[in-house]
A = this chain, B = another copy of it.
Amino acid sequence: MRAGPSQEEIRRHNLGTLLRYIHLHGPTSRTVLADRLGLNRSTIMALTAELTGAGLVREKLPSETGRAGRPSLVVRPESTRFYVLAFDVGVDRLAAARVGLGGVILDRREAVRERNGFDLDEVVATLAGFARQMLRKADADTVCVGAGAAFCGVVRRGDGLVRFGPNIGQTEVPFGAALTRELDLGMTVSVANDANLGALAEHQRGIGTRCQDLIYLHGDVGIGGGIIVGGRLLGGEGGYGGEVGHMVVNPRGRACGCGSAGCLEAEVGERALLSAAGREMSEDLIGRDAIRAIVDAAERGDVLARDALHRVGDWLGFGVSNLVNIFNPEMVIFGGILREIYLSSAAQVRSRLKTNTMAAAREGLRLRTSDLGDDATLVGAAELAFTEVLTNPLEVLTRAVAAG
């Protein structure tokens, strides 16, 4: 319970708030900024002057105005000059991007990851290699202001230790420390669970920007979840919150990689769908391709494929219903392979919602598929990386320039 802030704290807060607004909403006139941030024009002028001085934003006359009188200057983020590095470690894919202030993807790299085993050194070397390639291509006067990574596992807040990755068969992987060391940029790489970052991305830049309460469900091999409560990401005591994939929906259900049985992940994930559709896991057809093959077969009239999707959709409906009763969210977003699964079994999901949730809890609910698609987790990693500079623009900048 802290009292109100000092004048200096307010100034810093306002600088961060203005920069965050421009970062999320793009070029904005001073007049609109004054209105949205609830500050008078002279304060906006002073703040933009500071940010312009630091090179973080630029002010320009709008290209045309429909009104008489002096037009309001437009403040734009210096997207090509200040950037973060974002990384994403999925079960089947490694990705990295250089993302400019304002959320512009300036450069990106991707590689397929083989499912057999997990070699930390190899993963870190690949990601760091991507980063070095992208850094070499960046202009000399550009500045890296942060680094963030999404990981398909349960990640400890603070040091990016991956406590548990059931779908890569790993525990206690010091991923954050290893990537920080290998990059050697003079800054720590922030790491978080991929589905948590997907939720953050959809909330800040995707389909959920107007929602203060949303649930993002991410289907990879497993099912991850990220939950925004009252506009903030649900973290829990140690940062492990949001693991909705390990909610038991079927106490007599299939064994799960987490050691339990009947988890949402075990009933709805890739393995469950392939098995219900009578298909083997094969090296040639995994992930989204395997799911699409089943969806295509169902559309062509394959009864086994159709029944498999309905069966899986029914369990997905149980899971979503529980979450709707618990969270009363405005939106549930299906991402990763859950997009395809949900689109092919929406009737089952909606039917379960009608039976299993209280009318009040679902009346404001919208079910949607991810806007950002496969990039949701990577975009979330970039937003995580931007957190510090948007909280404390000038200090972070001073540090970054000194380190660069």
Binding site for B on A (CB under 8 A): 1-5, 9-11, 13-14, 17-18, 20-21, 36-39, 43, 154, 156, 163-164, 212-213, 225, 227, 229-230, 232, 234-244, 246-252, 258-260, 318, 321-323, 325-330, 355-361, 363-365
Chain B minimum-CB-distance residue to A326? B244
| Residue from A163, A240, A260 whose CB has the most chain B CB atoms within 10 Å | A240
Chain B minimum-CB-distance residue to A244? B326
Q: Across the interface, which residues of B come within 8 angstroms of A37, CB to CB?
A: 1-3
Q: Are A213 and B237 in contact (CB under 8 A)?
A: yes
Q: Across the interface, which residues of B come within 8 angstroms of A364, CB to CB?
A: 237-238
Q: Are B325 and A358 in contact (CB under 8 A)?
A: no
Q: Are A213 and B236 in contact (CB under 8 A)?
A: yes
Quote the shortest CB–CB distance from A253 to chain B (angstroms).
9
Chain B minimum-CB-distance residue to A259? B355
Tell me, in angstroms, the Cα distance from A268 to B332 when the chains sit together: 28
Q: Across the interface, which residues of B come within 8 angstroms of A330, CB to CB?
A: 237
Q: Are B326 and A241 in contact (CB under 8 A)?
A: yes
Known contacts A1-B37, A37-B3, A360-B154; A241 and B318 CB within 8 A of each other:
no
Quote the shortest CB–CB distance from A5 to chain B (angstroms).
7
Q: Across the interface, which residues of B come within 8 angstroms of A163, CB to CB?
A: 358-360
Q: Across the interface, which residues of B come within 8 angstroms of A229, CB to CB?
A: 229-230, 232, 234
Q: Across the interface, which residues of B come within 8 angstroms of A322, CB to CB?
A: 247-248, 322
| Residue from A1, A11, A242, A252 whose CB has the most chain B CB atoms within 10 Å | A1
Tell me, in angstroms, the Cα distance from A4 to B39 when the chains sit together: 8
Tell me, in angstroms, the Cα distance from A250 to B252 when the chains sit together: 9
Q: Across the interface, which residues of B come within 8 angstroms of A236, CB to CB?
A: 213, 327-329, 361
Tell me, in angstroms, the Cα distance from A288 to B354 when the chains sit together: 33
Tell me, in angstroms, the Cα distance from A212 to B357 when the chains sit together: 28
Q: Are B10 and A14 in contact (CB under 8 A)?
A: no
Quote the shortest CB–CB distance from A267 to chain B (angstroms).
10
Show 26 A/B contacts (Cβ-Cβ < 8 Å), sorted by A. Answer: A1-B17, A1-B36, A1-B37, A3-B37, A5-B5, A156-B360, A164-B358, A213-B241, A227-B326, A238-B360, A238-B361, A238-B364, A240-B361, A241-B326, A241-B361, A242-B326, A242-B328, A243-B361, A244-B325, A246-B357, A248-B318, A248-B321, A251-B318, A258-B358, A259-B355, A260-B355
Chain B minimum-CB-distance residue to A2? B38
Selected from B20, B39, B240, B326, the residue in CB contact (under 8 A) with A328 is: B240
Beyond A3-B43, A5-B5, A322-B322, 5 extra complex contacts between A and B, CB < 8 Å: A156-B360, A227-B326, A236-B327, A238-B360, A251-B251
Tell me, in angstroms, the Cα distance from A135 to B248 when the chains sit together: 50
Chain B minimum-CB-distance residue to A171? B359
Tell me, in angstroms, the Cα distance from A67 to B326 when the chains sit together: 52
Tell me, in angstroms, the Cα distance from A318 to B14 when the chains sit together: 46
Chain B minimum-CB-distance residue to A166? B358
Known contacts A4-B10, A251-B318; A241 and B327 CB within 8 A of each other:
yes
Q: Are B164 and A360 in contact (CB under 8 A)?
A: yes
Tell me, in angstroms, the Cα distance from A325 to B241 when the chains sit together: 7
4 A-B pairs with least C-beta separation: A236-B328, A4-B10, A3-B37, A163-B360
Quote the shortest CB–CB distance from A269 to chain B (angstroms).
15
Q: Across the interface, which residues of B come within 8 angstroms of A242, CB to CB?
A: 326, 328
| Residue from A39, A43, A359 whose CB has the most chain B CB atoms within 10 Å | A359
Tell me, in angstroms, the Cα distance from A355 to B248 when the chains sit together: 11
Quote the shortest CB–CB distance from A185 to chain B (angstroms).
28
